[in-house]
Amino acid sequence: MGKITGYEKEHELPQKVRQLYTAVLELMAEGIDVNTIKVSDITQKAGIGKGTAYDYFDTKEDIIICALIYAVSGMISRIKEVLSRYHTFREQIEQLFAAVEKEMLERECFMRFVHMMTDSSFCGKALQQRAALDKHRECNAMLLLTEMVEAGQKRGEVVEHLPLEYIVYSLMSKLLTYLAVCDKNEEGGSKAQRLKPYILEGVFAEFCR
Amino acid sequence: MGKITGYEKEHELPQKVRQLYTAVLELMAEGIDVNTIKVSDITQKAGIGKGTAYDYFDTKEDIIICALIYAVSGMISRIKEVLSRYHTFREQIEQLFAAVEKEMLERECFMRFVHMMTDSSFCGKALQQRAALDKHRECNAMLLLTEMVEAGQKRGEVVEHLPLEYIVYSLMSKLLTYLAVCDKNEEGGSKAQRLKPYILEGVFAEFCR
Amino acid sequence: MGKITGYEKEHELPQKVRQLYTAVLELMAEGIDVNTIKVSDITQKAGIGKGTAYDYFDTKEDIIICALIYAVSGMISRIKEVLSRYHTFREQIEQLFAAVEKEMLERECFMRFVHMMTDSSFCGKALQQRAALDKHRECNAMLLLTEMVEAGQKRGEVVEHLPLEYIVYSLMSKLLTYLAVCDKNEEGGSKAQRLKPYILEGVFAEFCR
Amino acid sequence: MGKITGYEKEHELPQKVRQLYTAVLELMAEGIDVNTIKVSDITQKAGIGKGTAYDYFDTKEDIIICALIYAVSGMISRIKEVLSRYHTFREQIEQLFAAVEKEMLERECFMRFVHMMTDSSFCGKALQQRAALDKHRECNAMLLLTEMVEAGQKRGEVVEHLPLEYIVYSLMSKLLTYLAVCDKNEEGGSKAQRLKPYILEGVFAEFCR
DNA sequence: GATGAATGAGGGTTCATTCAT
DNA sequence: AATGAATGAACCCTCATTCAT
């Protein structure tokens, strides 16, 4: 049987694979370190046999990486979908922060994803290789931001005297800062709520005409 | 014998411990994943026996964490020392970016440290516990930034209508973005050089009067 | 359903069983170690489902053992058939060596069979048990030789001052030596061709009047 | 630490390695299939930790192969030693059969060794590779026979009209036949005893002047 | 004090066998 | 009847930690 690549469409996913992905993501949401996740943890939580995981994946790493790609792709698609309903840069930025903040599970996963992208862990290395091949793929958050900014510039909402590169990195960095604050503050995100308007205002002040 | 805590002053460090720290940091500089480092890797590179490491530390994690704390404390002291020779917020910011960029080996460590602080890896967890107890300690980079900003505000250079918290997080995020860009661009840091003036300018525009 | 015993006549063999046997023998001819053969290898090569194999056999060992018995029985029948057309001991011996050499696939199997008969591998143990029960059966090569020698003695061609037992073991050992030499020398059997006349001559000199 | 190669001299063998070898050979003497021996079987019988085995060997196969080479080399040296005290071909042949028969444990090993040499099992493949490199080494039984025959020819005791190759193969085959008969007959070797004089006589009649 | 040989618990992976379809 | 997805027991190997020297 052909193994899972991580690029399957939502509806192509075998049921067991969905269960595996869910299990991985839940484990991450519970704060378990990627490096200490055991195959038996995953399959047990997924409610399937250990051998079954290996019918679909070659290694433990594959399972985890594909689960992450799945989660991040899904998150980005959903955010894209939300953003497509808004037509100004300011609204889009606001919605972006709101969307990213909304789902606990995805947020956790996204943080993990970002970590791994800048990480030298076993999964990190593999993920980065994937990402290098995937510049054009759904799981590329930078691309999403780039498109948003370019569209904003076309509409005349976003300044043009700053390099696109800088604006995108800057946005990403602010978004991650915000996520980090959300993450740190588990008692309800009050610090995040306090800082959010300033972060947004900083973005608008610097990048909007 | 009392074990090493990680808070020893430079001159209090036993020779063997220094060798262990150096070994850990070199391994990291070589790009080895923290989760993959073996005790035997460390002791071999340190040129000492495995048992000796356990005379000074209780667990492998302790060795790595203390090595990181050591490296980051040292880095922050050195940066503090540099900054103390400058007396305007703008100069300090510029020097901060320059200093951070300069120390190649330490920069790698700093990135690792940052990762782990926002990470759920074995070391991460332990580091975060440490950090929670260490709000006042040398290895706290946020504290350094906070002091810088407060001093800047006292001197009337830094705006006061924004929350201190926001300014500090924002600075940290920009610094990390810069580091990430440096890191990514191994062919000589040209992207970092291109973006640097914009990042600095963004800081000054937003936070300086 | 009654399981396969390995004693079915050629025409009693269900089609699927024949496919299984062929698959096992082909795998062996490919040089795969008996201990390494996987059920999935066999069924895949046989072009049938894994479950189906277990409709006919209880264990993997059964499949392999029966395939071997099938192959060796077939080989011995065919040799018997050939030998029945010759009426002197010398001719029979010559034909025996020729026949054994001819069947390339079967030779491989025969070597495997011999190995296992003197082996303590999983299959070996089982085969030997079988053989102990099967003294009278088709797959018994020693029996074939014994009959040949006895007939030779009756016709006055073979010496009688040596124990039948010794003559038979000696013949078997020479035959196996010959096979081993054929086997070793894949570049065309020149060594086998060189040694063959001496082996035959040794047999005749020692055992023929 | 450097791993064991299997070519260590008796006195160079670390104690633990000796224990491992002994354990392997005892397991074989007990009739356990090489392919089913577990590392834990070996180390348990050797009375050492599982990990220790891997300090000296890289894989389970290595342990078994080296144990076999050790046993066979030892056996052959001992036989050589015995033979060196006899100076006629006839005596040497008699002593050879006696010596080979004597060492019950080693005999078992020798049969295993022979099996593996003509086998495609995991160990077999590796052993054969070794043997290909070891034409000149101690564990080469053919070499021992070759030397014996050549010396016999020089002394004028052994016929010269037959190819050396044939004589050696023939001797080996007779020796193995004898061993196989010894092996089969666990009730006291009476069959072996009955056949032995005929086998020896056959050798003398064919190869001695 | 310093060492590194020895340990053995633990986890990734395989594969014979089963059973729902 | 035939299938092959699912299972989980089993086993090799690693490596943090200990402790005799």
Which residues in chain A touch residue B160, judged by CB atoms under 8 angstroms apart? Answer: none
Q: Are A56 and A5 in contact (CB under 8 A)?
A: no
User: What angle is formed at CA B124 by the lines to CA B119 and CA B127, rounded to 5 degrees?
Assistant: 135
pLDDT for the residue B187: 61
Q: Is the CB of A13 under 7 A from strand F?
A: no
pLDDT band at C45 (very low <50, low <70, confident <90, very high): very high
Q: Is the CB of D16 under 7 A from strand E?
A: yes
Q: Is the CB of D125 under 7 A from strand F?
A: no
For residue B158, report the phi and psi dihedrals to the nearest 5 degrees: -110, 140
Pairwise CA distance, residues C115 & C128, whole Å: 11
The dihedral sign for the CA sequence B170, B172, B175, B179:
negative
Q: Which of B138, B6, B147 is nearest to B74 (CA)?
A: B138
CA of D117, C1' of F21: distance in angstroms? 43
Pairwise CA distance, residues A178 & D101, whole Å: 82
Q: Tell if the CB–CB gap between C191 and D165 is shorter than 8 Å.
A: yes
Q: Closest residue by Cα to the C1' atom of nucleotide F7?
A: A49
Q: Tell if the CB–CB gap between A195 and B166 is shorter than 8 Å.
A: yes
Task: Evaluate if residue A112 carries a pLDDT over 90.
Answer: no
Site of tokens 């694979």: A17
Other CB atoms closer than 10 Å to residue A127's CB: what's the count? 26
Instruction: Tell me if chain B has a CB within 8 Å of the CB of A200.
Output: no
Q: Which of B179-183, C144-148, D134-138, D184-188 has the lowest mean pLDDT?
A: D184-188
From the list C33, C35, C120, the residue facing D32 with the nearest CB is C120
List, for residues A160-208, the tens digit of each pLDDT value: 999 999 999 999 989 888 887 776 655 656 788 889 999 999 999 999 9
pLDDT for the residue D152: 96
Read off the pLDDT of each residue in C99-108 and give the average, rounded to a whole number. 71
CA of C57, C1' of F3: distance in angstroms? 16
Read off the pLDDT of each residue in B72-83 and give the average, rounded to a whole number. 88
Q: Residue A82, SS3?
A: helix
Pairwise CA distance, residues A98 & B51, whole Å: 52
Shortest distance between the Cα of D34 and any Cα of chain C, in A, equals 7
Site of tokens 């024949």: C18
Task: Evaluate if residue A58 carries a pLDDT over 70.
Answer: yes
The dihedral sign for the CA sequence D117, D118, D123, D127:
positive
Q: Which of D167, D182, D205, D158 is nearest to D98 (CA)?
A: D182
Read off the pLDDT of each residue in C67-80 and give the average, rounded to a whole number. 88
Q: Describe the crossing of helices B122-133 and B60-83 by its angle, rounded to 10 degrees.
A: 50
pLDDT averaged over every residue in chain B: 86
Question: Alpha carbon of A161 to those of A153, A167, B195, B196, D52: distances in Å?
Answer: 10, 10, 13, 15, 67
Per-residue pLDDT of chain D (209 residues; tens, 9 = 90+): 678 988 888 888 999 999 999 999 999 988 888 899 999 999 999 999 999 999 999 999 999 999 988 988 888 888 899 999 999 999 999 999 988 887 655 667 777 777 777 777 777 777 777 777 776 676 678 888 999 999 999 999 999 999 999 999 999 989 888 887 776 555 656 788 889 999 999 999 999 98
Instruction: Name which residue leads in pLDDT, C20 or A133.
Output: C20
Q: Are B148 and B158 in contact (CB under 8 A)?
A: no
From the list B33, B198, B206, the residue facing A163 with the nearest CB is B198
Q: Are C155 and C207 in contact (CB under 8 A)?
A: no
Other CB atoms closer than 10 Å to residue C18's CB: what's the count? 15
pLDDT for the residue A74: 87
CA of C30, C1' of F4: distance in angstroms? 26
Q: Is the CB of D122 under 7 A from strand E?
A: no
CA of A20, C1' of F8: distance in angstroms? 17
Q: Is the CB of A60 under 7 A from strand F?
A: no
Other CB atoms closer than 10 Å to residue B130's CB: what's the count? 19
List, for residues B81-122, the tens digit of each pLDDT value: 999 999 999 999 999 998 888 765 566 777 777 777 777 677
Q: Can chain A be said to touch chain D, i.e. do they have 3 or more Cβ pairs within 8 angstroms?
A: no
Q: Is the CB of D126 under 7 A from strand F?
A: no
Pairwise CA distance, residues B114 & B124, whole Å: 9
pLDDT band at A127 (very low <50, low <70, confident <90, very high): confident
pLDDT for the residue B130: 78
Please report which helix (H) or strand (E) contains residue A169, including its range.
helix A164-184
CATH 3.30.200.20 correct for C10-207: no
Read off the pLDDT of each residue in A48-54 and give the average, rounded to a whole number. 97
From the list C115, C124, C194, the residue facing D118 with the nearest CB is C115
pLDDT band at C37 (very low <50, low <70, confident <90, very high): very high
Q: What is the dihedral of CA A101, A105, A110, A115, to 10 degrees?
A: 120
Instruction: Name which residue leads in pLDDT, D179 or B198.
Output: B198
Quote the DSSP letter at residue A3: P
Pairwise CA distance, residues A154 & A146, whole Å: 12
Read off the pLDDT of each residue in A63-72 and give the average, rounded to a whole number. 91
**Residue D3 C-alpha from the chain's centroid:** 24
pLDDT for the residue B18: 96
List, for residues B6-56, the tens digit of each pLDDT value: 888 888 899 999 999 999 999 988 888 888 999 999 999 999 999 999 999
pLDDT for the residue C154: 95
For residue C158, report the phi and psi dihedrals to the nearest 5 degrees: -105, 140
Q: Describe the crossing of helices B104-117 and B60-83 by its angle, rounded to 10 degrees.
A: 120
Which residues in chain A touch residue B199, judged by CB atoms under 8 angstroms apart? Answer: 166, 170
